[in-house]
Homo-oligomer: A and B are copies of this chain.
Amino acid sequence: MAVKLMIPGPVDIPEEVRDAMAVPAMPHYGDAWIRLYGETQEMAKRVFGTHNDLYIMPGPGTMALEAALGSALEPGDTILIPSNGFFAERLQTMAKGLGLQVLSLTFPLAEPITAEPVEVALREHTEVKALAIVHHETSTGVLNPLQRVLEVARAHGVLTVVDAISSLGGVPLPVDEWGVDFCATVANKALETPPGVALLSISPEAWKAIEARQAPRGWYLDLKTWRWYMENWGSWHPSPVTMPTSNINALHTSLMALLEEGLETRYAQYRAAAVATRAGLRALEFPMFTPDEWASPLMTAFCMRPAVDADSLQQALLRDSGVMISGGLTELHGKILRVGHIGLARRRDYVVAFLLGVEDYLRQTGVAVAPGQSLGAVAQLK
């Protein structure tokens, strides 16, 4: 049985994107590459909603975030990192690793990061130079409402760094309109390609901070290195290192499809998948972990109903229905399960396979469930 991936990532991707990974080797320089790379950058900028510089870097998303924080801030600088989950904590860990003073602000799990406490903190701590925030907290499925938080940060003159790793391309994040100085994402979440590259946009304000920075910053993760190549070798060899050309070819293919389809269309598909999943699960008496108001359309976190064990439901779905979903991380392990909606999982057949799989499991464990009880609820959605 072919496994359907319904996890927060990796995601099942269209065959045309996978095929684009298998092209013959091509050099990461010269006319053909400049065209492919340039087009990929331009398409990515449209998804980011930005006219800022945008670099595609070999490596994972955390690396791009580290390049941003480490290139713009000096060891000893203070950064505010509000947290409502695992990936915000990782941002904090990384910032500490860079020698930054981390000012934390902890929100309850399953609740969003809001602007007011951020404003209070910034008023009190005038030494804060930057704010870093996770857009989609994949550990809980909360989509943090960024716009107001970013406004507050800008009003206080602090740089803004957004971890949009699991959100960009799946929900609106207009980088220029919202004033994001650094925005980092990866190719392998809502841009729906295999993992391998990160994308990072850099505002003019961010460049000023990078230029002002003095302490040693290495080479690969120093964004000045990237700019030097773009400015000096841009017409022939625009990056400092060998680029993962196959992965970027796949990203080109995927972005083309996304933009042809239209961003709004894609966003609507995710919303529809999430709404159907939530309606179906509720019809089976599973409570949602994240209130609808803050729930990400890209991933659904739900709680257990009485007498259902999270691990065994997760295992049964994989074994009997070929649907792979994810468990809760750290303290949420055993309490919640997480179902991803990106990649092919945004299609109706994935949602149906998942819900029927849950029904099967309930029946196997002796719970009375009418066949299609969950799908009935889905059908009633307008």
Binding site for B on A (CB under 8 A): 2, 5, 7, 9-13, 18-19, 21-28, 58-63, 66, 70, 75, 93-94, 96-99, 186, 188, 194-196, 215-222, 225, 240-247, 324, 343
Tell me, in angstroms, the Cα distance from A12 to B246 when the chains sit together. Answer: 12
The answer to whether B218 touches A94 (Cβ under 8 A) is yes
Could you say which of B195, B215, B324 contacts A243, with CB atoms under 8 Å apart?
Answer: B195
Give the distance to chain B from A265, nearest Cβ to Cβ, in Å. 22
Tell me, in angstroms, the Cα distance from A26 to B225 when the chains sit together. Answer: 33
Could you say which of B22, B75, B93 contacts A19, with CB atoms under 8 Å apart?
Answer: B22
The answer to whether A217 touches B97 (Cβ under 8 A) is yes
Residue of chain B at shortest CB distance from A222? B97
Tell me, in angstroms, the Cα distance from A61 to B59 when the chains sit together. Answer: 11
The answer to whether B10 touches A242 (Cβ under 8 A) is yes
Q: Which B residues touch A2, using CB under 8 A?
A: 24
Could you say which of B23, B62, B217 contacts A220, with CB atoms under 8 Å apart?
Answer: B62
Could you say which of B28, B93, B99, B219 contacts A62, with CB atoms under 8 Å apart?
Answer: B219
Given contacts A25-B10, A58-B59, A194-B245, is CB(A218)–CB(B188) below 8 Å? no
The answer to whether B245 touches A66 (Cβ under 8 A) is no
Given contacts A18-B22, A216-B97, is CB(A244)–CB(B194) below 8 Å? yes
Q: Can you list 8 residue pairs at the A/B interface with Cβ under 8 Å? A: A10-B245, A21-B22, A28-B195, A58-B195, A66-B220, A97-B216, A97-B225, A244-B244
